[in-house]
Structures are given as C-alpha cells and as structure tokens.
Amino acid sequence: MTQTMDRTAQARVDAWLEQFEAALRARDVDAAAGMFAIDSYWRDLVAFTWNIKTVEGREGVADLLSACLDGTGPEHFRTTETPTEADGVVEAWIEFETTAGRCRGHLRLNDEGAWTLLTSLHELKGFEENKKETRPKGVRHGVIEERRSWAEEREREQAELGYAQQPYVVVIGGGQGGIALGARLRQLGVPALVLERNDRPGDSWRKRYKSLCLHDPVWYDHLPYLPFPDNWPVFAPKDKIADWLEMYTRVMEVPYWTRSEVREATYDGAQWTVTVDRDGETVTLHPKQLVFATGMSGKANVPSFPGADEFEGDQHHSSKHPGPEAYAGRKAVVIGSNNSAHDICAALWEHGVDVTMVQRSSTHIVRSDSLMDIALGDLYSERAVAAGVTTDRADTIFASLPYRILPQFQIPVYQRIKERDADFYARLEKAGFDLDWGDDDSGLFLKYLRRGSGYYIDVGASELVADGKIKLVRGQVDHLTKNAVVLSDGTELEADLVVYATGYGSMNGWVADLAGQEMADRVGKCWGLGSGTTKDPGPWEGEQRNMWKPTRQPGLWFHGGNLHQSRYYSHFLALQLKARFEGLPAPVYGTQEVHHLS
C-alpha cells in the first residue's frame, strides 16, 4: 500500500513539475499561477527574485512571474527523492536550474495544486565554491624560486587588505553573524573584511555575564562548513562558544580586524567611505557593500528613569552585567522578565543576593525540556539525526513553512506543552507571574520572529520565582531614589544594584549612529513580520524586515539573528554579494517597503 501511495505521489509531483516548467518556458504566467491553490504561498530565497520574498495566492504568483520570469530562465525541475503523502498533502524535495545558478526547493501539493513552494539559490554557475572534488590542493608541487609558504601568504594578505587592497565588502560586527558571513564570502572568493571592536573573536559572548549559556540546543546552532563535534554539550556555555568562534575565525581564514571600531560611514552613490579606529590608528576603507552584522541583541535599550543620576548603587544594562560575585549579601532589582532577566536573577540568588524581578508586561515561559522534546525534537535533536534529518534538511523544512501559516503549525505544539506542564504554569501564576503564549497562542518561535523579545526558555529560574526565592513584583517603574526603585503605585524596592534587562533596539539604530538618521529612516525598522501583534505593527511583510536582503539604501545590508539564522541566511546573503562582485545581473523584485522607522 505504501509503495502504491509513493508512486502516486511521485506521479502527481512529476506531472505538476512538468506542467509548471512548460508554462514557464512558454511564458504563460496565467497558466503557471493557475497551478497554485487559491490559498497558496511561494517563498523565494534569491532564486527568482534576487530577494528574500514570499508571495501569496495566484495573484501574487502571477505578479512575481510577470516581473522575474524573463530574466530567470528556470528549467530542469525534478525531484531529488521519492515524494511522500500524508493527510492529503504531498511533499517533495526538488531541484532546478536558472540562467544564473543551481537551485533547490520544497513543494507541497494539495487537491487544488501547489499549497507551498520554496525555491532557493544554492550556487552560482561558474562561481561555485571550491570543495570536495574541486577543493584547493594547498601546495604547488615543483621547484619554485622564492616560494612563499601558506603562512607567509596569509601574512601578506592580512597586511595588504584594507591598505593596498580594498575589500569589496565590509562587515561591521565580528560576532557569530559576521564570522559566519565572513567564512561564506571567503569560500566564494569575495574580498571582505570583518570589523570587531572587541579584543578577540568571541568576546561578544566572552564578556557577557558568566552564567550565560545557549538556550538553543547544539543541533540548532552549527556554524557553516564546520559543525560542532558529536561530544559538544547540548547547551554550550558562553565561554565555550566564544573559544569556538575564535578558533573558527582562524581555521576558516576569515579576514578579521579586532580592536576596530567604525566611527563613520558615508555613501557617494558608488562606494562607501568607512572610517575605522583600528587600535588607535585611523584607517579609511572604501567598500562597495556594507553589512551591519551588529546583531539583533546589539544596541541596548537603556531606559531613562527620573532619579537614575541620584542612585548611589550600581546600575547597568544586562549586556554589561559583570556577574553576581560582587553583590553577595546585598539587594538587587532586575527590571525585566525575559531571558536575560531570569538568568541574571538566578545567578544573583545563587550567590546570596536578595533579588527582586520587576515584571512590566506579560512573558511567555517554556521549559527547556519540553521545548526540546515537543517543539524541536523532530528537526533538531539526536532523534532527528537518527531519522536522517540533517541540519541542512531541518533548515529547509523550517524555511519551507511561510510565516503566514507558521502559527497554525505552532499553536498545537504549544498547546501540548501547556497541557504537559500544567502544574508548572499553575505554580507560576499562583506566585503572581503574568504568563502569555503570544497574541494568538503560537508560542516562542513566533514571538521571536515577530518582536525578538517577550519570552524565557526556563532552565531553572522559573522554579525560583514560583518558590518565591526570586521575589516578584508587577508594575511600571516611576523613578529611582538614592537607594531604591519606586514603582508607579508607590512601592519602594530597596536596591544596591539595578539591572536593566530591558532588551535591545532595532538594528537600523546603528545606521543612525554611523551614517546618520536620514539613512536609517530610508531603510526603516529591522526585524518583525508586520503581523499586527504586540510590538510587531502591520502591515504584513511576509518576511523579516530588511534582513539578509537588499534594502532601500544601495549597498547596505543587515545580517543577524540566532546561530541558526546566521548559519542559514548567511548563505543567501553571500550569494547576493557574490553576484554583485562578479557583475552578474541581479534585478530585485519586491524591495522592502518602509512602514516603520524604528
């Protein structure tokens, strides 16, 4: 029976692909659009649109094809493995070619036609990465006068880049995002330079509070080319991640300047002028492309409360928190109730600090074990690996679900978690904690994609809150006195330390700092889907605002997100930059509209 169903699924997919390719070859846009379901979604990652773009319905498909088809030349659509069928939906892994490159994708068919289609550019023809059979030899055999060793060539390159040789791409920010993109560009032969203001690669992790660990599991967090070893911990401590990033930067030969801070960036219509303070030396760079890889969690939101200048204790943003040791036996107030707030509160409590968490708005909590098992287990786990779900396959499955319909897949997941951990949530609410599950009960991933905040993956701190060991108050801060935080209802919280676990601002804030507010407003807000939910105002965007794709400012790009997004989307950003470096036609369809400035 299964073999019969597989053959039927294969026949359905083969017929759809054949008809779709024929319609594209004939430039029959209406026929091709008619092969999609009425409610359908086509997500394209650079292959057709030279953009990261999702269109919806037959009208959206027709618009995309009308704009992109002539210059794309799609052909040779085929499956790469036997399609499957479940609950009336056929799923297929596909590949095809365009004039510019070789592409991969994923297709879901229902009774009306294509329900979801993912198309993604895998490599550019003629500009493939040198790997496997085409990997570099590493040595020139024979007798060569004045031969230079690998180390000498690297030393020469490092000395010339930024001086005698200008980089085509400058990446501002040498954390996980900048390092991953730098490695991608290196493999593609694009002259690039990553700038990091810290002393060493990995310092963006190394310098955070000492108890910080990744809350995402190892299978979700691999870097490009060089995955973590099989004995790597499930949740890596920050210093271990920092050391890995430092090693990775060296091994992958990422062109990388430390102690280098950008002071100003201007654009003249053809190239950038980037002024850099490199360990006290002023260096001027002239790249064609500028990437802000300063991270979603890069520009701290530090509130300005009346009386803050009168407070006699220590106060700092969570990103500057040195750790709990100096505060043993003292009183701390942590303003905020998301990931950093919980982590810092727990570490303070462990070191004998009388700590109070100020919850200003509701927070989504999910226990790490439940998240691992129910939400991530089928894609990113040892169980998934055993079932043949590689990281690359898991990334593609996740990418194949358009953001519009992602909630309908997530809501049942978090309903199961809610039921499984009902006693845990009852205890938290009894302690006065204000819980939520997202505006539509879709849970953590949608909260992250929509606003990048408002949640905590519980690795123990919630138990301290439920038990009253971490004190909890709800309300808004009105002002500070010399020794207390005062809430709007008059509650006074004595404090020797105030930690502002108040999150981070939009990445275009860095553009405002370095290139001016006018340019920042030209590109608009970064991150969010336009879902119309809390802190994610509409209209609907369909993709992350301004991330990994062309912006309204020529030559300006944004790269960021968690380790998973850094790994996956750095590939598509690097291909876009490579195409421009090689002078390939790359007409952009659906450039990001600007609806919000920050």
Render 522-566 in DSSP notation, one character per residue: HH---S----SBTTB-SS--SS-TTSSS--SSTTEEE--SSHHHH
User: Among 154, 153, 202, which Cα is nearest to 180's?
Assistant: 202
Task: Identify the pLDDT of residue 298.
Answer: 62
d(CA 348, CA 461): 11
Task: Identify the pLDDT of residue 1.
Answer: 41
Task: Identify the pLDDT of residue 146.
Answer: 73
Q: Which amino acid type is present at position 237? A: P
Using the predicted structure, report yes or no on whether residue 22 has a pLDDT greater than 60.
yes
Task: Identify the pLDDT of residue 429.
Answer: 97
User: Among 148, 127, 123, 246, which Cα is nearest to 190's?
Assistant: 127
Bond into 136 cis (ω within 30): no
Q: Cβ distance 354 to 331 under 8 Å?
A: yes
In 98-177 the beta strands, taken as DSSP E runs, fall at 101-110, 113-124, 169-172
Please tell me the least confidently modeled range out of 203-207, 303-307, 376-380: 203-207
Using the predicted structure, report yes or no on whether residue 396 has a pLDDT greater than 80.
yes
Using the predicted structure, report yes or no on whether residue 5 has a pLDDT greater than 70.
no
Inter-helix orientation angle 406-420/444-451, to 10°: 130
Using the predicted structure, report yes or no on whether residue 153 has a pLDDT greater than 60.
yes
Task: Identify the pLDDT of residue 6.
Answer: 60
Read off the pLDDT band of 296 (50, 70, 90): low
Q: What is the pLDDT of residues 82-138, one digit of tens each?
A: 999 999 999 999 999 999 999 999 999 999 999 999 999 999 999 999 998 899 888
Mean pLDDT across 502-521: 92
Using the predicted structure, report yes or no on whether residue 504 has a pLDDT greater than 90.
no
Which residues make beta-bridge pairs with 114?
36, 109
Mean pLDDT across 369-379: 95
Mean pLDDT across 43-65: 98
Q: Cβ distance 358 to 477 under 8 Å?
A: yes
User: Among 365, 372, 449, which Cα is nearest to 218's?
Assistant: 372
Using the predicted structure, report yes or no on whether residue 585 has a pLDDT greater than 80.
yes
Q: Cβ distance 212 to 374 under 8 Å?
A: no
Using the predicted structure, report yes or no on whether residue 419 has a pLDDT greater than 60.
yes
Mean pLDDT across 512-541: 95
Mean pLDDT across 459-475: 96
Task: Identify the pLDDT of residue 2.
Answer: 47
Compute the residue count for the chain.
598
Task: Identify the pLDDT of residue 208.
Answer: 84
Using the predicted structure, report yes or no on whether residue 499 has a pLDDT greater than 90.
yes
Task: Identify the pLDDT of residue 451.
Answer: 93
Mean pLDDT of the chain: 94
Using the predicted structure, report yes or no on whether residue 55 has a pLDDT greater than 70.
yes
